[in-house]
Amino acid sequence: MSEKVLVEVSARHVHVSKQDLETLFGAGHELTSKKELSQPGQFACEEKVAVVGPKGTINMSILGPTRKDTQIEVSYTDARALGINAPLRESGDTKESAPIKLVGPKGEVELTQGVIVAKRHIHMLPSDAEKFGVENGQIVGVKIDTNGRSIVFGDTVVRVRDDFALAMHIDTDEANAAGISGSAQGEIIK
């Protein structure tokens, strides 16, 4: 059986809490969907914020819907440009991560933590996990064949939930290393 999975590039982005959204954009502001993403219910927003670090500023898109906690996902290259030490973590694990300032049109938010480099991961439904013979939290490799830059990404976390769609996410540094623009197909290696 060929264990192929769609590999998508997840560029730097911001997830905001409802409270931080209102501080940045004004009371009662709702996120404006610009484009649906591959994961059900997730969307890229019209709204952008300035992410301000000690060395630099990067304008980033917000992804919706709002979340319980604000989280910023960057690549290691972005972290260096901002002048921060963002730890490599699974999405949602922001405890004691890098601090940052967000600036919107109506206000600013100083975060004491929240910036991570997201671990590469594969979103799967339980039926996908059964088909591929993997389980939630398992670490696998993914082989990607590209023209002249084929690569095997190790340390890829399998994430299984009922509200996911099958797709692997890598950041822009990883995509550049493999010569991927947009998306590719990968083979899971256990």
Residue 95 lies in a domain: yes
What is the pLDDT, as a whole number, of residue 2? 61
What backbone phi and psi angles, to 5 degrees, belong to 60?
A: -130, 150
Pair (54, 144) in one structural domain: no
What is the pLDDT, as a whole number, of residue 131? 95
Residue 30 lies in a domain: yes
Q: List the pLDDT tens digit at each of the 190 positions of the chain.
A: 467 999 999 999 999 999 999 999 999 999 999 999 999 999 999 999 999 999 999 999 999 999 999 999 999 999 999 999 999 999 999 999 999 999 999 999 999 999 999 999 999 999 999 999 999 999 999 999 998 899 999 999 999 999 999 999 999 999 999 999 889 999 999 8
What is the pLDDT, as a whole number, of residue 1? 44
Pair (100, 147) in one structural domain: no
Residue 4 lies in a domain: no
Under 8 Å CB-to-CB from 124, ≥6 apart: which residues? 132, 134, 158, 159, 160, 161, 164, 166
Of 68, 91, 118, which residue constitutes the final position of a domain?
118
Under 8 Å CB-to-CB from 24, ≥6 apart: which residues? 16, 49, 102, 103, 104, 105, 106, 107, 108, 109
Domain limits at 109?
12-118
Number of structural domains, the chain?
2
Of 55, 84, 118, which residue constitutes the final position of a domain?
118
Pair (22, 63) in one structural domain: yes
Pair (158, 185) in one structural domain: yes
pTM: 0.94
Pair (52, 94) in one structural domain: yes
Q: Which one-letter amino acid corresponds to residue 19?
A: Q
Single out the residue of 3, 11, 7, 5 nearest to residue 180, CA to CA.
7
Residue 33 lies in a domain: yes
